[in-house]
Amino acid sequence: MSKPVLIVLRGNSGCGKTYLAKKIQNYYGTKNSFLIQQDIIRRNILHADDHVGNPSIKLMAKMLEFGRQNYHITILEGILRKDVYSEMLMKAINEFDGNVLFFYLDISFEQTVKNNSKKKVSFTPEQLRSWWREKDYFSKHDIIVRKNHNDDTDQIILKKVAKLMIDNGY
């Protein structure tokens, strides 16, 4: 019998989290994968600031549980600051029985600014600096990925996800 898995993509703004999350979901299909995007939940739906105790934490925790119960793969992507979301993330590791991959996409601030300027809705370097978290690694669970636009990072991540899926009966 297959077990549900959780893929977490963390990192600063403009590092490619959303792109990779959608790529994973497209690969496995929307009937098999549930995508939770921190920015959509926190900013667009709840209009909440990113601080300890904000309402998006509880909602995303409920969504993680929903994903675990109803989908083969749950994907959570966002900056997901360690100081704000660590308790929720640790609980998710336990709920998914350790069937989790945590990726931290580690790029330079300069690359963040460059990548962000290509977005439809971009932010100023000052806004990006105010959100910046230098090496905000979560725990021993992190797979640190130093992402460059010219490398095969996407394929490396997809292969790790595929291995976890196979190991869990898919």
Q: Give percent helix, percent strand, percent coil of the chain, each to the nearest 5.
A: 45, 15, 35
Mean confidence (pLDDT) of the chain: 91
In the chain, what are the domains?
A: 5-167 (3.40.50.300)
Instruction: Count Cα neighbours of 35 within 13 Å in the Cβ-side half-sphere.
Output: 21
Mean pLDDT value of segment 153-162: 84
pLDDT digits (tens, 9 = 90+) for 6-18: 999 999 998 889 9
Reported as a pLDDT band with limits 50, 70 and 90, residue 84 is very high
Whole-number Å distance between alpha carbons of 40 and 140 = 27
Mean pLDDT value of segment 41-49: 96
Whole-number percent of the chain with pLDDT over 90: 68
pLDDT digits (tens, 9 = 90+) for 93-108: 999 998 999 999 999 9
Predicted pLDDT at 117: 87
Q: What letter does residue 131 receive in the DSSP assignment?
A: H
Whole-number percent of the chain with pLDDT over 70: 96
Whole-number Å distance between alpha carbons of 167 and 150 = 30
- Identify which has the larger pLDDT, 96 or 147: 96
